[in-house]
Amino acid sequence: MKILILGGSGFLGSYLKKNSKRKIYFHGNKKKSFFNFDISKKINIRFLEKIRPNIIINLISLTNVNLCQKNKKLAYKTNVNTQKNIVSYCKTNNTKLIYISTDQLYNAKRGYSSERNISLLNYYSKTKFKAESLAKNCDSIILRTNFFGINRVKNTGLVNWLIESCKKKKKINLYNNVYFSPLNIDTLSKIILKIMTSNKKGTYNLGSLNKISKKDFAVKVFKKLKINTSYDEVKMNKSNPKRPLDMSMNCNKFIRNFKIKLPNIENEIKKLS
């Protein structure tokens, strides 16, 4: 079985590589990747014939919400056109697609969002939702998720920002009214590797069992990593572009279909090191 990860030179790709017992081919923006061409151009899809993968995991995404809103052409090219070409290849070659989507599709008014409770507030979420609709045209598993960890590939992400702010002795604002239910990146990568050979299809929420505010998340991270820093507890009111306040997900469909127990957020934070 041949597995190809598109956009695999980043944070999640590095964990999939570390945790996989199988050989994995990588596409990315580094020389050590198997290949690194622009898949948003249809002509480049022909190079997939070099591998003829049985499974493609698509991690390619422009995730910067501000940049997506500012440069909609780039966002559409990266998040939608790329997916269109990948799906076309998968349909023609009977290839399984695992697509990593986002919890930014949700903005719960109360409780946790199921897969039906869509609320698209910005251009990033709109392009990801469009990419999901394309993925449904082939044999695919779509995972709406959010993940965290200490990113040693590139100094980006929420945890890295918290650590860097502490190092620079910056006082930061932490939102007490923005909620999410992320997984530790190590947990997420192991789950993806476990389910990728499944004959299941469809769209699934994949996160922790409970929700947490960004403020409480940061405080628990500080405690786990033994970081001392100062912060202001604030509310997010208006933002430009608009951002959801509650991205917490109901993951019962995933648990029911894949028979995998999911952790709570507190235990996921304990895995940080």
Question: What pLDDT is stored for residue 215 in this prediction?
Answer: 97
Return the DSSP state at 78.
I
Cα distance between residue 256 and residue 253, in whole Å: 5
* Beta bridge partners of residue 246, listed in sequence order: 179
Question: What pLDDT is stored for residue 169 in this prediction?
Answer: 85
165-223: pLDDT as tens digits: 888 888 899 999 999 999 999 999 999 999 999 999 999 999 999 999 999 999 999 99
Question: What pLDDT is stored for residue 103 in this prediction?
Answer: 98
Domain ranges of the chain: 3-150+183-208+246-262
Beta strands 147-148; 3-6: pairing state: unpaired
Q: Report the chain (273 residues): mean pLDDT per 10 consecutive residues.
A: 89 93 79 66 82 94 96 97 96 97 95 96 98 98 97 89 89 95 98 96 98 97 91 91 97 98 97 91
Which tokens hold the place of 114?
């199921």
Which tokens hold the place of 104?
């930014």
* Cis? peptide before 241, omega within 30° of 0: yes
Q: Which helix (H) or strand (E) holds 205?
A: strand 202-206
Cα distance between residue 119 and residue 98, in whole Å: 23
The Cα-based distances of 1 to 29, 47, 137, 152, 178 in angstroms read: 24, 18, 22, 29, 41
Return the residue matching tokens 């290949």: 35
Does 3-150+183-208+246-262 carry CATH code 3.90.1150.10? no
Q: What one-letter code names the amino acid at 186? A: D
